Structure 1
Amino acid sequence: MSARVLCVRLDNAGDVLLTGPAIRAVAAGGARVTVLAGPNGAAAAGLLPGVAEVITWRCPWIDPWPPAVDPADVDALVARLAAGRYDAALVFTSFHQSALPTAMLLRLAGVPYLGAVSEDYPGSLLDLRHQVADDDQPEAERALSLAVAAGHRLPDDDDGALRVRRPLPDVRELTGPGPYVVLHPGTSVPARAWPVHRFAAAARALHAAGRRVVVTGGPAETELTRAVAGNGAATDLGGRTSLAELAAVLAGADVLVVGNTGPAHLAAATATPVVSLFAPTVPASRWAPYRVPRVVLGNQRAPCRGSRVTKCSVPGHPCLMPVTADDVVRAVAQLTRDFEPAAERVT
């Protein structure tokens, strides 16, 4: 009988995607993997190879929009996890998050072996207290190092890149024929956003350069995508795709132009090159699109560097405002010149 392992990642979709190589390592040994994810990451967890089941729970100490701690809700989660009879759990976190409150709940659920990265003294909460030597390593590698420390390794034929399940949905009716560039103007954190008028200018400039442009966004971003798509400069898919369909749209793109937000990592998981409009509120060394061709635009030494702010606190937004539509056009040209377009990529 295979082991039952719970992998925990309770924040956003991009964070879950970055945990994908670690989860594949756990599954590679034959374990049945369940992912405990937050509501913003559950759909991404369902796209990961090696995942058998996804449990969704909004965590008060991790979720970006945390609810109040509800004893009844916590008790229900503990009961559900106890019923799962897991042999082990790995709690994946970012450097600024603590795994210990989650480990407490897993102990109450009777999970016999727990591992996590922890700088804090864990007492009896962890069996594996993993510590990371390199604070600047990419998030995907940080997560994978925990899996390796727990005895799980990727097969020799797995290069450790981000991945999603295949096949993806057929989205040709949405995107239309031929090559295209995707612009994704939305971000989960306002401080990381390139202004909408700049995205609109980039759509027009790319269109003028002879490129087909597709604009993507979630259901709450339709006004934003409509403003960027303009009058015929781009195809507006705002609010029209599930996460799996968005992955398919990105897989068919020559390049994605996007801020530091979930679709950047979804593009990396489909092997799509990325023009990354990266605000340095968190380090690009950890969070830039992983293991895909990329051009990072933005002042990485701006005053917001390393601040983790969610709303820009510096007048003039100096990290991203200097980036122009022409910069984006040149970066797209570089990526499509130096690397295979989508029609020729084999993934």
Structure 2
Amino acid sequence: MSEQSFKILVVGPSWVGDMVMAQSLFIALKQQNPGCLIDVLAPSWSLPLLQRMPQVRQAMAMPLGHGQFDVAVRIRIGRGLQAARYDQAIVLPNSWKSALIPFFAGIPKRTGYIGELRWGLLNDARKLDKSRLRMTVQRFVALAAVADGIPEYAFPRLSIASAQQRAVCEKFAVGSDSKILALCPGAEYGPAKRWPVEHFAEVARRMHARGWRVWLMGSDKDKAVTEHINRLANQVCRDFAGMTNLAEAVDLLSLAEVVVSNDSGLMHVAAALDKQLIALYGSSDPGFTPPLHDKAVILNLNLDCAPCFKRDCPLGHTRCLTGISPESVLAAIHG
């Protein structure tokens, strides 16, 4: 088969941040073989992200939700992909079930980490050395390499067309009369990753007083938090939480000058949009999943008890986040 038609199926991850970081793998594959064709099988919510990655030819929705096994459906999907005649599959999730579809699709080279004893399902099974590959993005990009070592990686860069920006501006009646600060106070993993609402509200009030527009971004799950912040901020914010789909949230974030975010999926989106970003870390580790942006400001107190990777603070105080002051965030904002 010619180099130009080398076809790769990537089984994508199930989290927004991980899907953004997966673009670094797609870039590496294109650098190695510019003519390769990359298709991604991933959760349906991720399709707007993948459609904004120029390296991806086709994004296909995975009909099974996170945690669903249903081996019969996986066999049917795999057999349905046989006609595509992929040359290689790269499986990013580490679960056993995620390797079933490439196996039943008969893809001759099936690459991924051993994970849940996936010998046989994967015939290019790699052993993950977590001490060598500390970062998630390194682990993804290493699957494109044929030799050991710590791989170099390019930063993700989402591509937003001006037509997409115009459409989202028209839908939400967004003007361009002042600078925009986007606040992303959600973190699906749990409270130990969430900066206090009082701190977000203080930043919102102070930036509004400087003449900035302040937007609150998030999903339905973040609505109670964003409403609380807006009440504390005397309703100076435009609250988009639960009002947009992911595509619209991405396109709205592309209009912001500055983004302040917990360690969350939207933090990684903001980094991939090349925004001035202030990233707030508490229970998680910025050495493991940092924002992939060379100008991002990471605020992290480096307490002895952190990172604990817990959903709730095991000591009951969450000082790793409450100790990051609004003044430190305001000082990091330029413009």
Do the two structures share a fold, i.e. TM-score over 0.5? yes
Please report how far the alpha carbon of residue 259 of structure 1 lies from its aligned counterpart in structure 2 after TM superposition.
0.7
Structure 1 residues 255 and 58: CA distance shift in structure 2, 3 A: same
Q: Which residue of 1 aligns with 2:57?
A: 52
Residues 187 and 261, structure 1, Cα contact 8 Å, conserved in 2:
yes
Please report how far the alpha carbon of residue 141 of structure 1 lies from its aligned counterpart in structure 2 after TM superposition.
3.0
Structure 2: distance between partners of 1:176 and 1:159: 36
What secondary structure sits across from 2:322 in the alignment? coil
Q: Which residue of 1 aligns with 2:185?
A: 185
Q: Percent identity?
A: 25
For residue 184 of structure 1, what is the amino acid of its counterpart?
A: C
For residue 292 of structure 1, what is the amino acid of its counterpart?
A: D
**Alignment partner of 1:115 is 2:115:** no
**Alignment partner of 1:262 is 2:258:** no
Counterparts of 1:279-318 in structure 2 under 5 Å?
Answer: 279-281=282-284, 283-305=285-307, 307-318=308-319
The alignment yields a C-alpha RMSD, in angstroms, of: 2.9
Structure 2: distance between partners of 1:58 and 1:137: 31
Structure 1: distance between partners of 2:302 and 2:45: 27
Gaps of 5+ in 2: none
Structure 1: distance between partners of 2:15 and 2:296: 22
Structure 2: distance between partners of 1:264 and 1:45: 17
Counterparts of 1:150-299 in structure 2 under 5 Å?
Answer: 160-167=154-161, 168-170=164-166, 171-173=168-170, 174=172, 175-177=174-176, 178-190=178-190, 191-230=192-231, 231-281=234-284, 283-299=285-301
Please report how far the alpha carbon of residue 315 of structure 1 lies from its aligned counterpart in structure 2 after TM superposition.
0.2
How many residues matched?
317
Give runs of ≥4 in structure 1 deviating > 6 Å.
none
Q: Which residue of 2 aligns with 1:341?
A: none
Residues 47 and 244, structure 1, Cα contact 8 Å, conserved in 2:
no
Structure 1: distance between partners of 2:240 and 2:28: 35
Please report how far the alpha carbon of residue 212 of structure 1 lies from its aligned counterpart in structure 2 after TM superposition.
2.5
For residue 175 of structure 2, what is the amino acid of its counterpart?
A: G
Give deviations 1:20-76, integer Å, cap 9, x for gaps. Answer: 02113334532221111134534322322221222233667xx3xx23x32333333
**Alignment partner of 1:36 is 2:38:** no
Tell which deviates more after alignment, 13-22 or 102-111: 102-111
Structure 2: distance between partners of 1:292 and 1:58: 36
TM-score between both structures, scaled by the size of structure 2: 0.83
Q: Which residue of 2 aligns with 1:143?
A: 140
Give deviations 1:278-309, integer Å, cap 9, x for gaps. Answer: 1233x21121211231222233335252x433
Give deviations 1:294-340, integer Å, cap 9, x for gaps. Answer: 222233335252x43334333011221112222221122xxx26xxx
Give deviations 1:101-157, integer Å, cap 9, x for gaps. Answer: 43344223211101113477653333333355654543223312211339xxx9xxx
**Alignment partner of 1:126 is 2:127:** no
Gaps of 5+ in 1: 338-347
Structure 1: distance between partners of 2:84 and 2:221: 35
Tell which deviates more after alignment, 133-142 or 80-89: 133-142
Q: Which residue of 1 aligns with 2:321?
A: 320
Structure 2: distance between partners of 1:325 and 1:294: 17
Structure 1 residues 165 and 299: CA distance shift in structure 2, 3 A: same
